[in-house]
Amino acid sequence: MARPLIEPPAPVLFRDLFPYHTPPLSPMRQEGLPLTPGPDLYLTDTTFRDGQQARPPYTPTQVGQLFDLLHRLAGPDGLIRQSEFFLYADRDRQAVTLCQERGYRFPEVTAWIRAATSDVPLVKAAQVAETGVLTPASDYHIFSKLGLNRSQALDRYLGIVKDILALGIRPRCHLEDVTRSDVAGFVVPYLERLHELSVESGVEIRVRLCDTMGFGLPWSQADLPRGVPQLIRTIVDQTGTPGRLLEWHGHNDFHLGVANAMAAWLQGVAAVNGTLLGFGERTGNTPLEGLIFLWMGISGRTDIDTLAITEVAHFFQQELGVTIPPTMPFVGSSMALTAAGIHADGLMKDPEIYSIFDTSALLGVLPGVLVSDKGGLAAIAFWVNRRRQLAGLAPIRKEQPELAAVAAWVTQLFDAGRQTAVSDQELEAACARLAPGLLS
Asked if the structure places residue 276 within a domain, the reply is yes
Domain that holds residue 289: 42-318
> What pLDDT, on a 0 to 100 scale, did the predictor assign at position 376?
82
> What pLDDT, on a 0 to 100 scale, did the predictor assign at position 422?
84
Asked if the structure places residue 11 within a domain, the reply is no
Residues 387 and 424 in one domain: yes
Residues 306 and 341 in one domain: no
**Mean pLDDT of all residues in 262-281:** 97
> What pLDDT, on a 0 to 100 scale, did the predictor assign at position 348?
61
| Distance (Å, whole) CA 410 – CA 427 | 9
Residues 302 and 343 in one domain: no
Q: How many domains does the chain have?
A: 2
| Distance (Å, whole) CA 395 – CA 439 | 10
Residues 298 and 422 in one domain: no
Provide the CATH number for the domain around residue 249: 3.20.20.70
Boundary (domain end) residue, out of 255, 290, 318? 318
Question: Is 0.85 surpassed by the pTM of this model?
Answer: yes
Q: What contacts 143, CB < 8 A, 6 or more positions away?
A: 11, 149
Q: What contacts 363, CB < 8 A, 6 or more positions away?
A: 306, 307, 309, 310, 330, 336
Asked if the structure places residue 13 within a domain, the reply is no
Residues 379 and 348 in one domain: yes
Residues 364 and 277 in one domain: no
Give 99-124 pLDDT, tens digit per residue: 999 999 999 999 999 999 999 999 99
Residues 410 and 282 in one domain: no
Residues 343 and 229 in one domain: no
| Distance (Å, whole) CA 367 – CA 386 | 9
Give 12-70 pLDDT, tens digit per residue: 999 999 999 999 999 899 889 999 999 999 999 999 999 999 899 999 999 999 999 99
> What pLDDT, on a 0 to 100 scale, did the predictor assign at position 274?
98
Asked if the structure places residue 430 within a domain, the reply is yes
Residues 293 and 345 in one domain: no
> What pLDDT, on a 0 to 100 scale, did the predictor assign at position 421?
82
The 3 state secondary structure assigned to 246-312 is EEEEEECCCCCHHHHHHHHHHCCCCEEEEEHHHCCCCCCECEHHHHHHHHHHHHCCCCCCCHHHHHH
Residues 341 and 311 in one domain: no
Asked if the structure places residue 119 within a domain, the reply is yes
Boundary (domain end) residue, out of 289, 318, 347? 318
> What pLDDT, on a 0 to 100 scale, did the predictor assign at position 285?
97
Asked if the structure places residue 264 within a domain, the reply is yes
Residues 202 and 90 in one domain: yes
Asked if the structure places residue 157 within a domain, the reply is yes
Residues 394 and 285 in one domain: no
| Distance (Å, whole) CA 204 – CA 199 | 8
Asked if the structure places residue 162 within a domain, the reply is yes
Boundary (domain end) residue, out of 262, 288, 318? 318
Look at residues 161, 157, 154, 172 and name the one whose alpha carbon lies nearest to residue 200: 161
**Mean pLDDT of all residues in 343-357:** 71
